[in-house]
Each structure stands twice: as structure tokens, then as C-alpha cells.
Amino acid sequence: MRLLVTALTAASLSAQAPPSVLPETATKISEHVWAIMGNPNIGIVVGTRATLVVDTGLGPRNGATIAKVAATLSKNQKLFLTTTHFHPEHAAGEGGFPPNTVLIRPAVQQKEMDLHGMEMVELFSRSPERKELLNGVQFRAPDLTFDTEAKLDLGGGVIARLLWLGGAHTKGDEVVLVEPDATLISGDVVQNKVVPNIYGDGGTPASWLAVLDKIAALPVSHVLPDHSAPGDGSLVAQERAFIDDVRIRALALKKQGGSAEDAGKQLSAEFKTKYAGWPSMNLAAFVRSVYAE
Ligand SMILES: [Zn+2]
Ligand SMILES: [Zn+2]
């Protein structure tokens, strides 16, 4: 019965694009970490002195919803905001947060946003629902940037480690490790049964694997991905094994002289059987990324 329900939910989710308006409810992930489950999932880390929000939702209206939920979860006044990458559903809601919010992100991500941020807003605005949510969006400069790691002491023993480990879905992907919870807010870098996707000139399959090797060395018991269900630390190894598997097969087909397009079709069919529990399996784009490596 449980399997049937899961299958139906997956089918109904893939049948329609998920709505971009976030709910005003939060789910507990671990002792100090909450999530607004939506498109995308938003992380809220609560210490005694400060709260950290990870990702903004699409446009200021969603940002304001998140700020409201964060205020109900925290007793403190200080609010930090960071973004897992520069794409609009993760970064374009910043304008909805209170003006004294401290915005912090990796320098690599900021550079990518300066280059491609508004271009992505225009691309997303082709959908009427998203256009309304993104109306008038502007990006402000961050208050703080960092190269590879920023440690935020949120008080009460709660530490958020903001990490840039290399390119994966984009060049500037950030993951956040919350201590002492051992909770990883993983952005698009570690997902739960979602085919990985490299956007534009982001990372490569090989650099994504290198990022996952660094994450594998961290103490991770809970994972909150941004476009799929939360899970335990085994999601990190699952992601790595999947990317490795696709990459090895695609490189073998490339060596035999086949086209990326044919390899994409062949491997999509092959992996649909091999990874039967995954809601969808279109490997065309990721196989192209392997060929281009
Ligand atoms: Zn993205
Ligand atoms: Zn995303």
C-alpha cells in the first residue's frame, strides 16, 4: 500500500510543474533545522542568537513568506540569508526579507550571479506565474562573501558551515553543514532520486564527483535537498554512485564512437530499469555533459 501511494505521488508530481508559491508551514528536519517544503525546499537554521535561512524562494513574495516563518521559529533578532546557487528560485526572493538581513554567499557564486543572474530571471519570466512573482526583481550586493568556507556561530552551540567545494550544478554551488545536528542542506548537489543537471557552463560530471568526495568526508546524518524529499546521510553515497554509473557508461559509449544523442537515449532506457524507484529518468542532458567533459 505504501509503495502504491509513493508511486501515485511521484506520478502526480511529474505530471505538472510544481507551483512556485511557498506554504507558510515548516517541517522539522533535525534539532535546530527546519524546512519549508516547496519549490524549492527552504532551510531554516535556528540558534539562540541568530537564524540562518538557506535560499529565498522565487521572488520577494516568497522571500517575505520565509521571513515570516523564520520569525515564528526563532526568538532572536539577527537574520542571516544565504543561497545554494544563483538561480531565481533560490536567490531572487531576497527583496522580501527585512532590510537588516545579512546576505552572505560564496564569491564564485556572486560572480556567476553578476554575469547571469538577470538573464535567468528573464528566462524564468517566460512562464506567466513566474513572471508575476519575479516582477521588478533586482539583486543587491551581498554583505559578505567568502572563498571556500564561512562559519556562522548562531548561538547555543549551533554552527552553520557555509561551504563552496567546487562546481557541480553551477559553478557557485554552496552546501551548508549544520553542527551539532550533522544536517547537510545540500542544494542541487545532493538530491534524492533526481537526475543531476549541469546548467550552462557550470561544473562538469568529474568536478561534481570531486565535490561529493569532499562532502563524503563530512559528518552527515540528515540531508535536506532543495528539489526532493529529505533523507539520511546515505543520500550522499547514492548521488555519487549514480553520477559515477552514468559517467562510466557514457564514456564507454563515447569511446565506441556513438553520438551523445544516441547514448542519451540508450542510457535513459537502461537506467530506467536499473534505477526503477526513480520518478523520472531522462539522461539526455547529463550524458551531453559527460561527452563535453
Ligand atoms: Zn538550479
Ligand atoms: Zn535548483
> Residue 14 has what pLDDT?
36
> How far away, in angstroms, is 91 Cα from ligand 1 center?
10
**Which one of the ligands is nearest to 168 CA?**
1
Cell numbers at 200, concatenated = 550552462
Phi, psi of 2 (to 5 degrees): -60, -40
Distance CA 65, CA 21 (A): 9
Give the mean pLDDT per block of 10 residues along the chain (293 residues). Answer: 36 53 97 97 98 98 98 92 98 98 98 97 95 95 98 98 98 98 98 95 96 98 97 98 98 97 98 96 97 95
Any domain includes 270: no
**Which one of the ligands is nearest to 39 CA?**
2
Any domain includes 244: no
> How far away, in angstroms, is 85 Cα from ligand 1 center?
7
> How far away, in angstroms, is 88 Cα from ligand 1 center?
8
> How far away, in angstroms, is 99 Cα from ligand 2 center?
25
Any domain includes 103: yes
- The position carrying cell 508530481 is 13
> Which has the closest alpha carbon to 171: 133, 117, 219?
117
> How far away, in angstroms, is 192 Cα from ligand 1 center?
15
> Which has the closest alpha carbon to 273: 258, 262, 261, 283?
283
First to last CA, the chain: 43
> Residue 17 has what pLDDT?
59
> How far away, in angstroms, is 180 Cα from ligand 1 center?
28
Any domain includes 249: no
> Residue 19 has what pLDDT?
84
Which CATH number fits the domain that encloses residue 72? 3.60.15.30
**Which one of the ligands is nearest to 170 CA?**
1
Any domain includes 268: no
Any domain includes 3: no
> How far away, in angstroms, is 43 Cα from ligand 2 center?
13
Any domain includes 242: no
> Residue 5 has what pLDDT?
35
Any domain includes 222: yes
Domain that holds residue 149: 16-233
> How far away, in angstroms, is 40 Cα from ligand 2 center?
7
- The position carrying cell 516568497 is 62
Q: Please state the domain count of the chain.
A: 1
Phi, psi of 28 (to 5 degrees): -80, 130
Cell numbers at 86, concatenated = 544563483
Q: What is the pTM of this model?
A: 0.93
> How far away, in angstroms, is 39 Cα from ligand 1 center?
11
> How far away, in angstroms, is 5 Cα from ligand 1 center?
28
> How far away, in angstroms, is 251 Cα from ligand 2 center?
26
> How far away, in angstroms, is 87 Cα from ligand 2 center?
7
